[in-house]
Amino acid sequence: MLEVEVYNSEGKTEEKIELPQEIFGQRLNKAILHEVVRAYLSNQRLGSASTKRRGEVRGSGRKVWRQKGTGRARIGDIRSPTRRKGGVAFGPKPREYRINLSAKLKKKGVISALSDVASSNSIIIIDSLRLDEPKTFQMAQILNRIGANDGCLIVLPEVDPKVCLASRNLQGVEIALAKDLNAYQVLRYKKLIITKEGLTKLRERLLGNA
């Protein structure tokens, strides 16, 4: 197992713990990571882009001028895509971009991402993350003490309004819940900060009661 230090909010080492091999010590599976990240990004798309085709724009369907004898280029109606204010040829229409993945595959993606981050020693475990007041300065100080001031993902066991408010103005800092953590979030940041309770919740989610 991978042994890591547990820090307190002062940046001092409290103890050492071993991260579960089943979550943080697996081989990197690029194929699974590609699939789950692609699905996640695709599912963020609204798919609401829409244009009017020649049959939907306003205008007469009558031929603008006769086919021959005018000396001008032949043309159909004013709704043609080649004319100003005409319809759009092959333009986008609302569509569904969602890609459905099995829960098992999503878990494998998270485990593969966590193992990749662990292999580069980018995981920081903190005993707890509690703030008396939702102050951005206090949050920035804590992150600086534990060496995560250049962007990080913080994994919490549950929603903490004070931590969320204190961190939302910090550039490159994101809060995630252990139950919602996905591979894209894990891979996006240089550092991954997990509270001890968050680690327990993450283990329960990915391994059950094992």
Q: What letters, b where the CB count within 10 A reaches 16 and e where it falls short, cover 128-156?
A: ebebeebeeebbbebbebbebbeebbbbb
Take residue 93 and report the two structure tokens written for it: 């229409």
Walk me through the domains of the chain, giving residue ranges and CATH numbers. 2-29+101-207 (3.40.1370.10), 49-93 (no CATH)
Q: Is 14 exposed, middle or buried (0-12, 13-18, 19+ CB in 10 A)?
A: middle
Instruction: Look at the block and give the residue holding tokens 């040829």.
Output: 89
Question: Is residue 38 classed as helix, strand or coil in its secondary structure?
Answer: helix
- For residue range 51-71, list pLDDT tens digits in order: 999 999 999 999 999 999 999
pLDDT digits (tens, 9 = 90+) for 17-49: 999 999 999 999 999 999 999 999 999 999 999
